[in-house]
Structure 1
Amino acid sequence: MKITQPRLANTLHENTDIQTALEKNDEDLTEYSFKSLRIEGLRKNNLSVQSCVFTNCSFGTCSIRKSQFSDVVFKNCDLSNVDLTGCGFHRVEFTGCKLMGANMADGIFNHITFEECRGEYMNLSMSKMRYIQFTRSNLQGAGIEGCQLMNVSFDACNLMEAEFYRTPLKGIDLSNSEISGIRITNLTNNELRGSSVSSLQAQELVRMLGVEVKG
């Protein structure tokens, strides 16, 4: 699976406070590089963020709903508990980011990578996800309910107690991820039909049916 990388401008505006940039550009952010910023209490809807890089930035008590992020890189950023409901993400990279409790429900995700991220209890429910790569990321207890997944990969991820209710996993390889306590409607439903698991994971899933595996 080939993920299209963000298409960044050759030159980005630097050393700018995000509030100043928003005021200057009618609340649109295009071609900026933000570094080591503490962004506190930002509450904006319908933002357009294009060709931007955020490095070592933290977002405290922020709400950025129904916004569009295109060709954006988040590196070592803290977006924990940020409200990103209803946002569109296109060609976006999250590397080494904290996303614990982030609300990204009802989103549209196209060509996205999450690499070595902490996303415990993040909410991705009711989202449409195409060409997504999760790599070595902690998604324990994450809400991935009612999602449409197409070309989505989980590589060496922690999916313990993640909620996949009403999310078909056909064609998805879970064999090298931790899926203990994974939450699905039930094993007789269709969530896991067509997915790939390891032999040890299969035994774990059989136990969910109340069957004792001997030998």
Structure 2
Amino acid sequence: MNQPKLLESTLQPVAFTDIYSTEDHILQLGQLKQEVLEDQQLEHPTFDQCLLEGMTFLNADFHRLEMTDVILKNCTLANCQFEAASLYRVHFVDCKLVGSTLDHSALKDVTFTRCSLALANVNEAKLTQVMFDQSDLTEFNCLASHLSKLVLRQCKLNKADFSETSLKKIDLSTCQFDELRATTFDLVGCTLNETQAAYFASQFLGITVA
């Protein structure tokens, strides 16, 4: 994964509302901290080389959100709409994206570290070199998406849904789930541990592994 190209010493303190003062709704080389914002609506907001710390966005609607070289730390983005987003070299650390939507989005070189994406939706999306590390993806929905070089490391995947999404070359063996929604076709070529393999053998073949 390519990390965000961000030099924190060059950043200037800004407020989120500063984005409305620019014609193209762009925040660049900015540091945003400890704001609580509800029901914000903005078409194609752009964050370029920014650091967001302790920010809270509740029920935001940022259609076509664009982020390049951005780090988000301890941010809450609950029940937000980020459809058709474009994220490139973005790192989420200890963030909450519970119930948020990134359908029809493109993510490249994006890392989620110790994040909660329970009930989040990333359907019909393209994920390239994306890592979910020690994150909660309970009831996470990733239907009909294209995954390339996706890494899932020590994540909670219970009741996650990958229907119509190929998991080929993806290693699930360090993840935890009692139930995972995917077809046999979706699972072709993925890596499972013994417990997971036994679960799918029971689900699809009626086989009990002693």
TM-score by length of 2: 0.95
Matched-pair contact (CA < 8 Å) for 2:59–2:80:
yes
Aligned-partner Cα distance in 1 for 2:101–2:26: 22
Give the C-alpha shift of residue 17 in structure 1.
2.1
Structure 2 counterpart of 1:162, from 146, 150, 160: 160
Partner of 2:52: 54
Q: Aligned ranges for residues 100-139 of structure 1 at < 5 Å? A: 100-139=98-137
Q: What amino acid sits opposite 1:197 in the alignment?
A: L
1:92-139 CA deviation, whole Å, 9 max, x = no partner?
A: 001000011010111000000000001101001111010011100000
Answer yes or no: is 1:39 the counterpart of 2:37. yes
Please, what is the CA RMSD of the aligned residues? 1.2
Answer yes or no: is 1:207 the counterpart of 2:173. no
Q: What amino acid sits opposite 1:122 in the alignment?
A: A
TM-score by length of 1: 0.93
2:42 counterpart SS class: strand
1:106 counterpart SS class: coil
Structure 1 counterpart of 2:187, from 181, 187, 192: 192
1:39 counterpart SS class: strand
Structure 1 gaps, min length 5: none
Q: What amino acid sits opposite 1:92 in the alignment?
A: V
Q: What amino acid sits opposite 2:199 in the alignment?
A: E
Answer yes or no: is 1:96 the counterpart of 2:94. yes
Of Structure 1 and Structure 2, the greater strand share is in 2
Residues matched between the structures, number: 208
Partner of 1:25: 22
Aligned-partner Cα distance in 1 for 2:20–2:88: 24
Give the C-alpha shift of residue 212 in structure 1.
4.0
Aligned-partner Cα distance in 2 for 1:180–1:50: 39
Give the C-alpha shift of residue 155 in structure 1.
0.3
Aligned-partner Cα distance in 2 for 1:123–1:42: 19
Give the C-alpha shift of residue 209 in structure 1.
2.1
Question: Percent of aligned positions with the same letter in both sequences?
Answer: 24
Give the C-alpha shift of residue 66 in structure 1.
1.0
Q: 1:193 to 1:210 in 2, by over 3 A?
A: closer
- Indicate the larger mover: 120-129 or 203-212: 203-212
Aligned-partner Cα distance in 2 for 1:35–1:46: 21
- Runs of 4+ in structure 1 over 4 Å off: none
